[in-house]
Amino acid sequence: MDTSVTTTAEEKVWGGGNRPLGASYGKLMMWFFIVSDALTFSGFLASYGFSRFKFIETWPIADEVFTHVPFFHGNYPMYYVAFMTFILIMSSVTMVLAVDAGHRMMKNRVILYMFLTIIGGAIFVGSQAWEWATFIRGDYGAVETRGGRILQFVNADTGERAALADFAATLPDTRVAHQRDNGVWFEAEGTLPTYTVEEVAEGLRSNPNILIRTETLNEDGEKTVLNREESLDKIKDARLVVEGANLIRNEYGSRLFADFFFFITGFHGFHVFSGVVINVIIFFNVILGTYERRKHYEMVEKVGLYWHFVDLVWVFVFTFFYLV
C-alpha cells in the first residue's frame, strides 16, 4: 500500500528521507524542471499564436514554405518534417527501451538502445540544420513594398510560383557592394540581392505571363493573385528585393514568421543538441559500468524523461508551426 503510513515513517517525518510523491529527489527535480521548461516553450508558442491571430489574413502558409526534401527536387510539402517527427518519436522509443532494460539491469541492451537514441537525435539535429539552411537560402525570391509587405510572383500559365531568376531582366548594373576598405567610414554592407528592384520590375513588365501574388489570404485560404493591370500597378510600390530569410525580413511573408521560426525551432534544436550531449555522457557512464556499481539505472531514467520531453515539445511545434 503506497498511501498507508507506518509507525516507523511517522517517527522520522521531519528527519528527511521521506518520499511523499513516491519518486526520488533527482527524478522529482527533473519533472519540475520539465514543467518550467514546458512553460517557456508555451510562452513561445502562445506568442506565435498572438502574432498569427494579429495577422490572421496575411500569415504565410507553412505548406508552401517547407516543401523541400534532401536529394530530391520538386514540391513535397510536409514530408520531410513528418520524417523528422518520426525520427524523434523513434528515438523516444529506443530511449524508453533503454530505461526498461535498465530496470532489468541488462547493461548491454542499455548500451545498444542508448546508442540508437543518440543516432536518432543526431539525425534530427542534422535535419534541422538542413531545414534552416534551406529556409535561409530561400527558393523563389520576392520583393518588399514601401509598407513592408512581401510580393511574390506566379506564372499565369501554370499557376505555379515564378522565381526571380525566371523572369528578371538584366540591366546595366552600377551598384556594387560597399566594402569597408573603399569608403570614408570603415563599414561594410551585407550581401546585395542577385537582382535589383528595377530588374525585377522590368522583367515583370516585359513578361506578360508573370503576375504578382500578395500576402492576403482569400476565403479558400490561398494567397490572392493580382491580375495583370493590378500587378503592373503594384510593382511600383516595390522597394527591396528579398531572397531567403534573416531576422529582419524574409521572402515568405510576415517578418515575424521567420523570427518565430528561428526562435522556436532554434530553441528546440538547442534542447535536442543538449539532450544528445547528456545522452552521450550517460552512454559512456553505462559503458564504464557506473550504474552497475550503483545497482540501479535511475540516471538513464532521468535523462530519458528529458529526452521524451524534447520529443513532446516537437509534437507541439510540428502542429502549431507546420500543420495548423
Interface residues toward other proteins, by CB under 8 A = 2, 20-23, 28, 31-32, 34-35, 38-39, 42-43, 46-47, 49-57, 63, 77-79, 82, 85-86, 89-90, 92-93, 95-97, 99-100, 103-104, 145-147, 149, 220-221, 237, 301, 304-305, 308-309, 311-312, 315-316, 318-319, 322-324
**CA dist., res. 183 & res. 161, Å (int):** 39
**CA dist., res. 208 & res. 188, Å (int):** 38
Cell, residue 293: 556499481
Of 67 and 285, the one with the shorter C-beta distance to other proteins is 67
CB of 190 to other proteins, least distance (A): 25
CB of 295 to other proteins, least distance (A): 12
**CA dist., res. 245 & res. 133, Å (int):** 10
**CA dist., res. 176 & res. 204, Å (int):** 23
Of 52 and 68, the one with the shorter C-beta distance to other proteins is 52
Residue pair 146/237 in contact by the 8 Å Cβ criterion: yes
CB of 46 to other proteins, least distance (A): 5
Query: What HEC string does 192-212 produce?
Result: CCCCCHHHHHHHHHHCCCEEE
CB of 145 to other proteins, least distance (A): 6
Residue pair 283/114 in contact by the 8 Å Cβ criterion: yes
Of 3 and 170, the one with the shorter C-beta distance to other proteins is 3
CB of 184 to other proteins, least distance (A): 34
Of 26 and 49, the one with the shorter C-beta distance to other proteins is 49
Of 63 and 189, the one with the shorter C-beta distance to other proteins is 63
Cell, residue 262: 528561428
CB of 117 to other proteins, least distance (A): 12
Cell, residue 192: 546585395
* Chain centroid, CA 240 distance in Å: 26
Which one-letter amino acid corresponds to residue 193? P
Cell, residue 9: 515513517
Of 17 and 147, the one with the shorter C-beta distance to other proteins is 147
Main-chain phi, psi angles of 222, to 5 degrees: -110, 160
CB of 177 to other proteins, least distance (A): 28
Residue 190 CB contacts under 8 Å (≥ 6 apart), including other chains: none
Of 50 and 270, the one with the shorter C-beta distance to other proteins is 50
